[in-house]
Structure 1
Amino acid sequence: MSDLEYQRGFRNQFATEALPGTLPEGQNSPQRCPYGLYAEQFSGSAFTAPRSHNLRSWLYRIRPSVAQSAYRPIEAGQLSTAPDTAVAADPNQMRWDPLPMPQATTDFIDGLFTMATNGDARNQAGCGVHLYAFNADMTERYFYDADGELLLVPQLGTLLLRTELGLLELAPGEIAVLPRGLKFQVRRAPDTDAARGYICENYASPFELPGLGPIGANGLANPRDFFAPTAYYEDTQGEFELIAKFGGKLWAAELDHSPLDVVAWHGNYAPYKYDLTRFNTINTVSFDHPDPSIFTVLTSPSDTAGMANIDFVIFPPRWMVAEHTFRPPYFHRNIMSEYMGLIHGTYDAKAEGFVPGGSSLHNCMSPHGPDANTFEQASTAELTPQYLGDTLAFMFESRYVFNPTPMALSADFLQSDYVDVWQGLHSHFTPNAR
Structure 2
Amino acid sequence: MHQVRRVAMLSLHTSPLDQPGGGDAGGMNVYVRQLALELAAAGILVDIYTRRTSLELADTVALAPGVNVHHVTAGPFGKVSKESLPELVPQMADAVAAHMRHLSTQPSPAWPAAGAGGGLPGPVPVNVVHSHYWVSGMAGILVARGLDLPLVHTMHTMARVKNKHLPSGQAAEPGIREEGEQQIVAAATRLIANTTAEAAELEAHYDGCEQRIDVVSPGVDLKVFKPAFRDRSRQLRGIAPADFHVVFAGRLQRLKGPHVLVKAAKLLRAERPDIPLRLTFLGARSGNDKYDLGQLVAEAGLAGTAAVLPPVTAAELADWYRSADLVAVPSASESFGLVALEAQACGTAVVATNVGGLPRAVSDGRTGLLVDGRSSRLWAEAIASLHDFPQTRKDMGRAASVFAESFGWENTAAQTMASYDLSLTYQYVAPPGC
The answer, yes or no, to whether TM exceeds 0.5 is no
Give the TM-score range, shorter chain.
Answer: under 0.3
Q: Name the structure with the higher strand share.
A: 1
Name which one, 1 or 2, has greater alpha-carbon Rg: 1
Q: Name the structure with the higher helix share.
A: 2
Return the TM-score normalized by structure 1. 0.24
Return the TM-score normalized by structure 2. 0.24
